[in-house]
Amino acid sequence: MAQLYGQSAQAPSKATIWRVVTGADATAVDAVIGAWLARQSAARESDTDPSALVAIAVDGKTVRGATDIEGNQVHLLAAATHTDALVLGQVDVGAKTNEIPMFAPLLDRLASTGVDLTQAVITADALHTQRAHAEYLHERGAGFVFTVKQNQPTLFAALDALAWAEVPIAVRDIDTGHGRVTTRTIQVLPAPANLPFPHVNQVWLVERYTADLAGTPLSAVAALGVTNLPAQPGTPRRLATLIRQHWGIESLHWLRDTLYREDNSTVHTRSGPRVMAALRIL
């Protein structure tokens, strides 16, 4: 303060901090923080395997306690690395739209901050299993791993009709903990001809079975999906890891909700909700 303004250094008051937070350009704050985190992620990747694909999960989150001046809840679409849950960028999803049209702008923002999408594989839930998203990622040179559900009924039916019972299990993982045994499997096939979705090289089926320690079944979950990754580097092990790690961004939501009590935040003045959400990802 003294060097910049010729005044004595003094801690800003609560009111001053509040004016700065609520008056800041939330988009600019998101961009600056995202660019800094992208540089941290790039530095970490170069220290490990610079040729490896960077796995990035795209997912949305509603800040339930915060509303804008019109009373709408703040909803953000974020992109975070699988390995360390660094949020490389996030965009506001307006009340009059949804996450789907914000997918490409979010990844455009990542690219503008230096994220090399040609060295990235994007994972997303079934909401983002959209032909336009696949075309966008293909043009960007990025990989994708998408879950397929009934929001794409023709594609889902095509995958569900495949002879999975005849396909060998490629990877089987068994984990024991918290009084239960969880078995995860993946089966992978080359993409069938005339699949009603662009740029798919492989299709997959993952299954998860949970039982108690006595062997009594507790739950069974199955999911179908598609990827544009070829057999190399899209090995069954790699695909299984990507699918399992996608929950990492959900863990980030848990951290923001639990540690920072984001859902309890009632900030609603001007840019306050967006700026505070950006600061919580640091």
- 215 inside domain: yes
Mean pLDDT in residue range 267-280: 58
- 61 inside domain: yes
Q: Phi, psi (5° rounding) for residue 151?
A: -70, -15
Statement to judge: residues 117 and 251 lie in one domain: yes
Statement to judge: residues 163 and 232 lie in one domain: yes
Statement to judge: residues 153 and 237 lie in one domain: yes
The pLDDT, as a whole number, for residue 12 is 74
- Which residue reads 């990025």 in tokens? 142
Statement to judge: residues 39 and 89 lie in one domain: yes
Low-confidence winner among 35-39, 129-133, 226-230 (lowest mean pLDDT):
35-39
- 19 inside domain: no
pTM: 0.79
Return the top range by mean pLDDT from 40-44, 223-227, 242-246. 223-227
Statement to judge: residues 120 and 155 lie in one domain: no
pLDDT band at 61 (very low <50, low <70, confident <90, very high): confident
CB 218 within 8 A of CB 232: no
Q: Which residue did the predictor score with more confidence, 261 or 193?
A: 193
Statement to judge: residues 227 and 251 lie in one domain: no
- 266 inside domain: yes
The pLDDT, as a whole number, for residue 34 is 62
Per residue in 188-201, pLDDT tens?
999 999 999 999 99
Is 74's pLDDT higher than 50? yes
Q: Which residue did the predictor score with more confidence, 137 or 36?
A: 137
Q: Which residue did the predictor score with more confidence, 275 or 178?
A: 178
Statement to judge: residues 89 and 76 lie in one domain: yes
Low-confidence winner among 109-118, 167-176, 226-235, 256-265 (lowest mean pLDDT):
256-265
Mean pLDDT in residue range 113-138: 95
Mean pLDDT in residue range 15-37: 66
The pLDDT, as a whole number, for residue 204 is 99
pLDDT band at 52 (very low <50, low <70, confident <90, very high): confident
Statement to judge: residues 198 and 222 lie in one domain: yes
Name the domain count of the chain: 2
- 4 inside domain: no
Average pLDDT, the chain: 82
Statement to judge: residues 156 and 239 lie in one domain: yes
Statement to judge: residues 165 and 192 lie in one domain: yes
Per residue in 237-249, pLDDT tens?
999 999 999 976 6
Statement to judge: residues 119 and 161 lie in one domain: no
H helix intervals, the chain: 2-5, 14-23, 26-47, 103-112, 131-140, 153-160, 236-245, 248-258, 272-280
Q: What SS3 string covers 40-55?
A: HHHHHHHHCCCCCCEE
- 7 inside domain: no
- 6 inside domain: no
Statement to judge: residues 238 and 255 lie in one domain: no
- 5 inside domain: no
Is 80's pLDDT higher than 80? yes
Strand 120-124 relative to strand 143-148: parallel, antiparallel, unpaired? parallel
CB 173 within 8 A of CB 240: yes
Structural domain containing residue 201:
146-244
Residue 121, token pair as written in the block = 């594989």
Is 156's pLDDT higher than 90? yes
